[in-house]
């Protein structure tokens, strides 16, 4: 039951900009029957992988186009075109690569320093990070640009990728921070959301690779069926959440999530202080 609840939390919060890792950290502290920290991290990775499948399914056409372009001949890729959409499509693999570099460096650095488990064990850090997420969401909704960019530069990709790397902190929403940063950079909202989710694919795959040893031994875990149930729940909830978020991004409704983040963040900080 615990894994199903956490799967539901992960599915909703991975795409709604309120930090899935933050809510998982909170859930792992307050739900009964908590597993050890090592198993919690493994469950976290598996639930993120389930929501990665949601991104792949939802953006399957864009992904197929990117793969096609990567496999295409140089002559096809370098054929001159004045179509902005075609130009962006050809740039997309490079943009994702540039954005993934800072994310990977920050993620590997944390993994090698053995700080991941420590971050998830710190409720005050989760609360403060949620407050920061709320600020980003609030100000991104107040940005009004007469002519938002329908393009992404490599500098944009580098900045957004760095923010995604920082979002490894539980409480910093990956989707919320990257979409907000894109909007603050002047990128049009639908494109900001699409790039955020496409950029998440190598990031989550990288996390799975880093936890490869633990996942390899998953078949020996007594929690295998429970983990599978949690992943299925995360997938179903995630698909509904991604549709909801994309509509809210276009309608400039992210600020409502900022209020939620502030309330939960203050509540978590108060809860952790009361337990000292």
Q: 182, 196 in Cβ contact below 8 A?
A: yes
At 77-98, the pLDDT tens digits run: 555 566 777 788 888 989 999 9
Q: Considering the entire predicted model, what is its pTM?
A: 0.83
Neighbours of 60 (CB within 10 A): 10
Which helix or strand (DSSP H or E) is residue 170 part of?
none
pLDDT in tens, 120-169: 668 888 999 999 999 999 998 887 766 788 899 999 999 999 999 988 88
Cross-strand pairs, 149: 187
Q: What is the DSSP annotation of 95-125? A: HHHHHHHHHHHHHHHHHHTT-HHHHHT-HHH
Structure tokens at 138: 């609030």
């Amino acid at each position: 039951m615990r894994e199903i609840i956490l799967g539901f939390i992960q599915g909703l919060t991975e795409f709604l900009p309120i930090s899935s890792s933050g809510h998982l950290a909170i859930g792992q502290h307050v739900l009964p029957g908590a597993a050890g920290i090592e198993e919690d991290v493994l469950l976290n990775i598996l639930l993120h992988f389930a929501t990665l499948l949601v991104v792949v399914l939802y953006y399957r056409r864009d992904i197929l186009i990117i793969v096609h372009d990567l496999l295409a001949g140089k002559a096809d890729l370098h054929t001159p075109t004045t179509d902005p959409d075609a130009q962006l499509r050809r740039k997309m693999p490079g943009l994702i690569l540039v954005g993934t570099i800072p994310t990977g460096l920050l993620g590997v650095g944390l993994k090698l320093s053995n700080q991941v488990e420590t971050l998830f064990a710190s409720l005050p850090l989760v609360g403060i990070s949620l407050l920061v997420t709320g600020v980003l969401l609030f100000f991104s909704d107040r940005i009004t640009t007469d002519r938002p960019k329908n393009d992404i530069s490599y500098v944009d990709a580098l900045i957004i990728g760095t923010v995604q790397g920082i979002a490894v902190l539980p409480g910093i929403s990956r989707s919320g921070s990257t979409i907000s940063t894109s909007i603050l950079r002047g990128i049009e909202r639908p494109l900001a959301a699409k790039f955020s989710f496409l950029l998440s694919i190598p990031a989550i795959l990288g996390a799975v690779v880093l936890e490869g040893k633990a996942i390899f031994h998953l078949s020996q875990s007594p929690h295998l069926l429970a983990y599978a149930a949690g992943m299925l729940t995360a997938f179903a909830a995630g698909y509904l959440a991604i549709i909801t978020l994309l509509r809210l991004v276009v309608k400039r409704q992210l600020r409502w999530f900022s209020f939620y983040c502030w309330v939960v963040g203050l509540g978590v900080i108060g809860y952790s202080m009361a337990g000292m």
